Chains A and B, each alone.
Chain A
């Protein structure tokens, strides 16, 4: 009899530790969102390298836990918590920027440097979202972290939200990556809306060949200029340009390959899965997350709008033959290389012989620099 009651008691105790005893409606919703991410990544091929780690991370993070077992991502000293420090303290994003630098070819930008300005114009989205977030009652620090979603740069969004609004990291980063995956859906209607058929057919002159010397000078001068103006952006800008120097110097091929290959892959895995884990239902399923998603969408729309519009304004001052095809304006949104690919696809739609990819890569990489600079400014003002 005593044995039976002991067994029952132990079984009951064990049941209390299981996920079934602790599950809530929120957990189920978040697990379903995680599964949706995985589905979109596999079936629709939307940013699979990010959505699969984030999606599975969501599932990991939303397995209902009995608190105090030192396994949850928010429990000090747990394995997931230690891995999460890369997000929380912001050392994954600079490493990803190192990889981006090592895989990015800035030739298009160097051959036509006025494309840098298009990249700058697209950063308006960040500050539109910032103003919107303030109007919705977020604090300036939170608004800054939300605004950076408009930079369309996942690592930058994680870096800034880790510093300015750690409680919102999950919502901000998932929002940023979701909209980056949705760039092919969000941008084309805005591009069509703002351009005439004649403008879409503009052919841009082929970029001139860029010498090795110019490619080496670019990361050094680029870093010195941007870092002296915005020192708070050093972690991102420094790693971006350093990675690019590894690539272009021609004598550090092994280091460049490691930075853009294995190292980048490792960090992408860790950042994806830990960001996913951080979206625990009790922290993620809040009214503020819905607002963040709405502001994120608005910032992407404004950024695309401003990029395309800026191209059109710039064309007013450019001679015939040097005009920009405004379809590359959306690429100022620094979702590399997706937004450039959108320009390319849209360009081909209207003229199958007009290849805009190389031209669009200019504002695209300028957008990366621009969003890192903007993040540095927000950090300087608000942290």
Chain B
């Protein structure tokens, strides 16, 4: 029992440790990068420079303050995203842009290195050790083009180091192109989605795939039945066990009584004996009121409620609470 308990506790702790990353650093991706920018986004001073876009894949806010970005794996803490600025709190499914102009004095989110000649970029968590994401930029990207994920947040160059990430990668792989989901983007989109083509909603897709509703009806009814059939099977077996248990308990209760009765037939239930005795007594001494064997006693003073003769004003029993406990 102790072994089972300790295994259970350990498993719970493992699960909890994994779950604690929900909507956390693990959800941040390097979504898009532009190395050479001559006619695109401008910083607050009107200057054009390279930039890095992060994307929050979670459905909750994630704060990237204290995260590290580097182009050198040997120096993972090369640039730290400043703390204390509310802009680092990336809302769900939103973007965050950092200017890679090598001039941190130019503003809060200006990095201390440029992207000229950079081929690899790494994103580290606040501990400076946990690698969250990486991107490998091809050398031959034309000017004013960007490189990044074709579908926001999806795909990975390398398997990431947390079990949850590897699950996510495998889960998402079915949704991304075979090349890992990265590509040269014709239209740089800092702070916006990389998907420049109109995206169909689920409802629109469904209208094309299933214009009469037959497929959805069939799938949905199958799922409803599946759910309730599993519940049925589950509770049929639980019910059978419960019936067996009830029968066993009943049998266990009745066994000593039956044994006692069979050992000594005169050892019957006391209530039955009492009932037989009263019946015999009544029978032998007569059954009418006149015979005196009944529950109305003579010469005994009793209180008899008689409301008809008194007005409610005079009837004290109506003005007082009958039973203080009620």
Q: Is A111 an interface residue (CB 8 A)?
A: yes
Asked if B202 and A214 sit within 8 Å, CB to CB, the answer is no
* Given known A110-B239, A211-B242, A214-B238, contact A366–B228 (CB-CB < 8 A): yes
Residues of A within 8 A of B226 (CB): 229
Q: Is B212 an interface residue (CB 8 A)?
A: yes
Interface residues of B in 276-311 (CB under 8 A from A): none
Residues of B within 8 A of A382 (CB): 202-203, 206
Interface residues of A in 188-238 (CB under 8 A from B): 208-211, 213-214, 217-218, 221-222, 225-226, 229-230
* Given known A110-B235, A383-B202, contact A119–B228 (CB-CB < 8 A): yes
Residues of A within 8 A of B234 (CB): 113, 221, 225
- Closest beta carbon of chain B to A68's beta carbon, Å: 30
In the complex, what distance in Å separates the CA atom of A120 from the CA atom of B212? 22
Which chain A residue shows the least CB distance to B201?
A141
Q: Which 7 A-B pairs have the closest CB atoms?
A: A127-B217, A131-B213, A141-B203, A113-B235, A140-B206, A120-B228, A116-B228
In the complex, what distance in Å separates the CA atom of A151 from the CA atom of B210? 22
Q: Is B89 an interface residue (CB 8 A)?
A: no
Interface residues of A in 325-379 (CB under 8 A from B): 366, 369-370, 373-374, 377-378
Residues of B within 8 A of A134 (CB): 207, 211-213
Q: Is A123 an interface residue (CB 8 A)?
A: yes
- Selected contact of A111 from candidates B214, B239, B245, CB within 8 Å: B239
In the complex, what distance in Å separates the CA atom of A143 from the CA atom of B207? 11
In the complex, what distance in Å separates the CA atom of A213 from the CA atom of B246? 12
Asked if A377 and B228 sit within 8 Å, CB to CB, the answer is no
In the complex, what distance in Å separates the CA atom of A333 from the CA atom of B201? 31
Asked if B227 and A131 sit within 8 Å, CB to CB, the answer is no
Q: Is A139 an interface residue (CB 8 A)?
A: yes
Asked if A230 and B227 sit within 8 Å, CB to CB, the answer is yes
Q: Is B199 an interface residue (CB 8 A)?
A: no
Which chain B residue shows the least CB distance to A132?
B213
Number of A-B contacts (CB under 8 A): 125
- Selected contact of A374 from candidates B203, B224, B236, CB within 8 Å: B224
Q: Is B21 an interface residue (CB 8 A)?
A: no
- Selected contact of A381 from candidates B204, B220, B229, B238, CB within 8 Å: B220
In the complex, what distance in Å separates the CA atom of A130 from the CA atom of B234? 31
Residues of A within 8 A of B201 (CB): 141
Residues of A within 8 A of B225 (CB): 117, 120
Residues of B within 8 A of A366 (CB): 228
In the complex, what distance in Å separates the CA atom of A214 from the CA atom of B245? 12
Q: 19 pairs across A/B with beta carbons < 8 Å? A: A113-B232, A113-B235, A113-B236, A120-B229, A123-B224, A128-B217, A130-B213, A131-B212, A139-B204, A140-B206, A140-B216, A208-B239, A211-B246, A229-B227, A230-B227, A369-B228, A377-B219, A377-B223, A377-B224
Residues of B within 8 A of A139 (CB): 203-204, 207
Chain A 119-148 interface 0/1 with B at a Cβ cutoff of 8 Å (1 = within) = 110011011101100110001110100000
- Closest beta carbon of chain B to A319's beta carbon, Å: 15
Residues of B within 8 A of A117 (CB): 225, 228-229, 232
Asked if A370 and B216 sit within 8 Å, CB to CB, the answer is no
- Closest beta carbon of chain A to B15's beta carbon, Å: 15
Which chain B residue shows the least CB distance to A113?
B235
- Closest beta carbon of chain B to A183's beta carbon, Å: 21
Interface of B is mostly: helix
Q: Is A89 an interface residue (CB 8 A)?
A: no
Q: Is B231 an interface residue (CB 8 A)?
A: yes
Interface of A is mostly: helix
Chain A 22-54 interface 0/1 with B at a Cβ cutoff of 8 Å (1 = within) = 000000000000000000000000000000000
Chain A 79-96 interface 0/1 with B at a Cβ cutoff of 8 Å (1 = within) = 000000000000000000
Which chain B residue shows the least CB distance to A213?
B242
In the complex, what distance in Å separates the CA atom of A143 from the CA atom of B236? 36
In the complex, what distance in Å separates the CA atom of A128 from the CA atom of B221? 11
Which chain A residue shows the least CB distance to B203?
A141
* Given known A116-B228, A139-B207, A225-B227, contact A381–B202 (CB-CB < 8 A): yes
- Closest beta carbon of chain A to B198's beta carbon, Å: 16
Which chain B residue shows the least CB distance to A306?
B221
In the complex, what distance in Å separates the CA atom of A160 from the CA atom of B225? 20
Q: Is B243 an interface residue (CB 8 A)?
A: yes
Residues of B within 8 A of A164 (CB): 203
Q: Is A322 an interface residue (CB 8 A)?
A: no
Residues of B within 8 A of A210 (CB): 242
In the complex, what distance in Å separates the CA atom of A141 from the CA atom of B207? 9
Asked if A226 and B231 sit within 8 Å, CB to CB, the answer is yes
Asked if A114 and B232 sit within 8 Å, CB to CB, the answer is yes
Q: Is B252 an interface residue (CB 8 A)?
A: no
Residues of B within 8 A of A141 (CB): 201-203
Which chain A residue shows the least CB distance to B236?
A113
- Selected contact of B213 from candidates A120, A143, A217, CB within 8 Å: A143
- Closest beta carbon of chain B to A114's beta carbon, Å: 6
In the complex, what distance in Å separates the CA atom of A383 from the CA atom of B206? 11
- Closest beta carbon of chain A to B8's beta carbon, Å: 16
Residues of A within 8 A of B207 (CB): 134, 139-140
Asked if B235 and A230 sit within 8 Å, CB to CB, the answer is no
- Closest beta carbon of chain A to B175's beta carbon, Å: 16
Residues of A within 8 A of B243 (CB): 208
Interface residues of A in 143-157 (CB under 8 A from B): 143
- Selected contact of B227 from candidates A113, A128, A373, A378, CB within 8 Å: A373
Asked if B206 and A123 sit within 8 Å, CB to CB, the answer is no
Residues of A within 8 A of B203 (CB): 139-141, 164, 382
In the complex, what distance in Å separates the CA atom of A366 from the CA atom of B228? 8
Residues of B within 8 A of A116 (CB): 228-229, 231-232, 235
Interface residues of B in 227-272 (CB under 8 A from A): 227-232, 234-236, 238-239, 242-243, 245-246
In the complex, what distance in Å separates the CA atom of A124 from the CA atom of B224? 10
* Given known A127-B213, A127-B217, A381-B206, contact A225–B223 (CB-CB < 8 A): no
Residues of B within 8 A of A127 (CB): 213, 216-217, 220-221
- Counting chain B CB atoms within 10 Å of each CB, the highest count among A140, A370, A382 belongs to A140
* Given known A113-B236, A141-B203, contact A229–B223 (CB-CB < 8 A): yes
* Given known A211-B246, A214-B238, A214-B239, contact A123–B231 (CB-CB < 8 A): no
In the complex, what distance in Å separates the CA atom of A370 from the CA atom of B231? 11
In the complex, what distance in Å separates the CA atom of A377 from the CA atom of B227? 11
